[in-house]
Amino acid sequence: MGRESSTRQTPAKQSGPSGLIIGAVVIAIIAIGAIAFWPSSNQSAPAAGAQGSATQTPAAPEMAKADKPTPEIVAATEASAKFGPHKQERFPPIPFAAYAPPRPPDVVTDAFHFAAEHPEVLSYIPCFCGCQQAGHKGNTDCFVRSRAANGDVTEWEPHGVECAVCLDVATRSRQMYASGASVREIRAAVEKEFGPNFPTMTPTPMPADAHSH
């Protein structure tokens, strides 16, 4: 009886290694599957990133649009431009409001005085703030409302004090004029700088020539 029980226990001892082998095989299969899956997930990430970057490409900005100058606007612009360059000894007071302007007072003053003395420049430079709805034909109209027969400004346009766009266009024009740029060069630079940022501009005629002052 003792011998029979010992022989029956031998197969039980052999079942242990077989279970370990099965477990090892299962672990190996899982590892192989994970390795096979890992590269495919990494390869899909760049494709998704590339597709996202392609859809986020910004569109080129549109330039400001202007109505074609009418013969009346062309004639008024030429008449205004003929006053310049014009040296004015005494100016009317700048119509500052009770609150601070959008640019420093000296910048505002310089813009008004430049418009008064150089209508041959600012009459051919467009403005982009939408003031064509008020009848403005060019940047000079943002500052000058009326002149005497000799060309002196007798009344300012208050709109220029309060409008940062008008002031920035005049300041840019004044700086380029001081550097020796022609009116056409000034206009091209102003349109390039302000055109993409605003939807419309005044119906300002082009200057007649490209000569510098």
Predicted confidence at residue 63, as pLDDT, reads: 83
Does residue 88 sit in the same domain as residue 39? Answer: no
Is residue 6 in some structural domain? no
Residues 187 and 113 in one domain: yes
Q: Does residue 2 fall inside a structural domain?
A: no
Q: Please state whether beta strands 153-156 and 144-147 pair in parallel, antiparallel, or not at all (unpaired).
A: antiparallel
Asked whether residue 78 falls in the same domain as residue 183, the answer is yes
| 58 within domain boundaries | no
Domain that holds residue 130: 71-197
- Mean pLDDT value of segment 135-151: 97
User: Is pLDDT at 30 greater than 90 in this prediction?
Assistant: no
Whether residue 147 has pLDDT greater than 70? yes
Q: Please check whether residue 63 lies inside any domain of the structure.
A: no
Same-domain pairing of 85 and 145: yes
Does position 123 have pLDDT exceeding 50, yes or no? yes
Q: What average pLDDT does the structure give for the chain?
A: 81
* DSSP string covering 124-155: TS---SSGGGGT--SGGGGTEEEE-TTS-EEE
Q: Residue 3 domain-assigned? A: no
Q: What total of structural domains would you count in the chain?
A: 2
Q: In terms of domains, do 40 and 83 share one?
A: no
In a domain, 35, yes or no: yes
Least confident of 6-10, 82-86, 120-124, 172-176: 6-10
pLDDT of residue 111: 98
First-to-last CA distance in the chain? Answer: 129
Specify whether 114 is located in the same domain as 188. Answer: yes
For residues 187 and 92, state if they share a domain.
Answer: yes
Angstrom distances, CA of residue 185 to CA of 7, 62, 209: 110, 21, 10
98, part of any domain: yes
Q: Is residue 137 part of a domain?
A: yes
- Res 10: pLDDT: 44
Clarify whether residues 182 and 79 are in a common domain. yes
Q: Are residues 91 and 18 located together in one domain of the fold?
A: no
Q: How confident is the model at residue 114 (pLDDT cuts 50, 70, 90)?
A: very high
Residues 189 and 98 in one domain: yes
- Based on the domain organization, do 22 and 82 belong to the same domain? no
The mean pLDDT value for 14-42 works out to 47
pTM above 0.95, yes or no: no
Biggest CA pair distance of the chain: 142
- Residue 88 and residue 184 in one domain: yes
Q: Residue 125 pLDDT more than 90?
A: yes
